[in-house]
Chain A
Amino acid sequence: MNDRIIFHIDINHCYAQIEEMLHPELRNVPMAVGGHEEKRQGIILAKNDLAKAAGVLTGESLREAREKDPDLLIIPPHYEDYMYYTGKVKEIYREYSDQVESFGLDEAWIDYTASRNLFGDPEEVCSRIMERVNEEIGLKVSAGISWNKVFAKLGSDQKKQGSPFSITRENYKQTVWPLPVESLLYVGTATSIKLRSRAIRTIGELAGYSEYHLRNAMGMAGTMIHAFANGEDTSPVSDVLRVTKPKSIGNSITMIHDVYSLEELKPVCYVLCEAVASRMREQGLEGSTVYVSMRSTSLDWTGWERKMEQKTDVSEEIFNAAMSLASQYNFSLPLRAFGVSVSQMHPSKGARQLSLFWDSRRYERARRTDLAMDEIRSRYGFYAVRRACTLLDRPMTEINVKEDHTVHPVGYFQGRKMIV
């Protein structure tokens, strides 16, 4: 059997590196890209080498980071630049294969198997790609090559300078197996605790563990990571043209001030529901399950979901469902972040079953309002039209959720089932 040849290429600390590329003077100071502090979306998204040396961690709050290094320069993210330059990087990848699958903005898998006859030796070509990204875009990348996606990613995680890290059937027991089990894709904190309680500390120990016991303890996820550890991941690299339908569409925000009551939450909820409904209509989808997630000031998430009687893409209906779900929250602690998402998607039919029990005219009116708002906004900008209730708390609702908050990490399987 001929093995596949898969590259995984990762733009090192992507956001920070793009800022450095655009403004080289930032290389000389400890610098991090962080959320807007005044809007309280304050975590470190990426940091440069000097900030890393000072102990700054990705994901910690801006305040924690400043305590470690008072001179740390924190700049707000410029997503538009990041999307532009990562797009340029991926254009280079696509010169070598039509199977390029993005994993977030900064990472991608490239299936090089069929391109080998065109371009030649994989290691040489991968090195050439790394060189070109550096010369043409000015960004340093690290790369891994293997016969499956999971090991290719492990290879690029080794951050070898200048050339790809190859993981082959001959060397994986020496290179991959001694690594801590947490470095494997899909082994997060929760899984790590379960594995360590079974004395599984390395990927090798996971690979050698009984698959039967893992499945008993963790279900399909156990089977999956066992296969990953043994290099038996067979998931394909998607092609360029393949567009996967989302399983759910959602938006969430950290609010600029804490919220103490349902009444205060209402305008924020409207803004989110409008964004979600508008994104659903753009993709021609309707959903039937509404989910709200709520984060208190103690930073714990809680969430509720509810199935709707009818599939919908109308903000008013999503809003009503979301508010009735949110009313289960007792506000013993004020609310810090709030999110709404809709799942169980189906292509929109543009018509719906009439019922004796609800007023279809109301649905029609709400849908027409939404469509009119979409059109006004597309022509005159987001703030050209808005619900009156959002004027009660302008700073809180002056967020263009749809445009500014939809850079999302993507799931590994993109809705595909894993075949083991």
Chain B
Amino acid sequence: MSELYKRYVDVIVRMQKDRKLVPLKLVWDNGTEYEIDKILSIDKRASEVGGGGIRYAVMICGRRRNLFYERDRWFIESVQP
């Protein structure tokens, strides 16, 4: 397992009428948007890179990543620093 970094990111989210948050796209600092292809699971978790909250295990461009909704913002366990 390569080393992971905590990266706060912009996320485009659909706020559903049943109060569920569904992250749709992730926006990297350079403006590139990454589609979230699939949400594999949602649970409450602490992250190994620090902090935690609601963990969305997601597929982005064919790779599995953990996206966290921490209090009032989003971060991803990133392989890039």
Contact = CB atoms under 8 A, between A and B. Distances in A.
A380 interface: no
A77 interface: no
A24 B50 contact: yes
Interface residues of B, number: 11
Contact of B50 (A21, A135, A137, A139): A21
Interface of B: 43-52, 71
B49 A136 contact: no
Nearest to B48: A24
Nearest to A132: B44
Interface string A111-151: 00000000000000000000000111111000000000000
A241 interface: no
A243 interface: no
B64 to A, nearest CB: 19
A18 to B, nearest CB: 10
Interface in A7-32: 21-24
11 contacts: A21-B50, A21-B52, A134-B46, A135-B45, A136-B44, A136-B46, A136-B52, A137-B52, A138-B46, A138-B47, A138-B52
Nearest to B51: A22
A137 B46 contact: yes
Of the listed residues A84, A135, A139, the one surrounded by the most CB atoms of chain B closer than 10 A to its CB is: A135
B46 A135 contact: yes
Interface residues of A, number: 11
Interface string A173-206: 0000000000000000000000000000000000
Contacts of B49: 24
A137 B48 CA distance: 11
Contacts of B45: 135-136
A84 B51 CA distance: 12
Interface of A: 21-24, 84, 134-139
A25 to B, nearest CB: 8
Nearest 9 interchain pairs by C-beta: A138-B46, A136-B44, A24-B50, A22-B50, A22-B51, A138-B52, A23-B50, A137-B46, A136-B45
A23 B49 CA distance: 8
A137 B71 CA distance: 12
Contact of B71 (A23, A84, A134, A136): A84
Nearest to B44: A136
A137 B68 CA distance: 12
Given A21-B51, A136-B45, A138-B52, 5 more contacts: A23-B50, A84-B71, A135-B45, A135-B46, A136-B44
Contacts of A136: 43-46, 52
Contacts of A23: 50
A22 B52 CA distance: 8
A20 to B, nearest CB: 8
A190 to B, nearest CB: 41
Most buried by A among B43, B47, B48, B51: B51
A134 B44 CA distance: 11
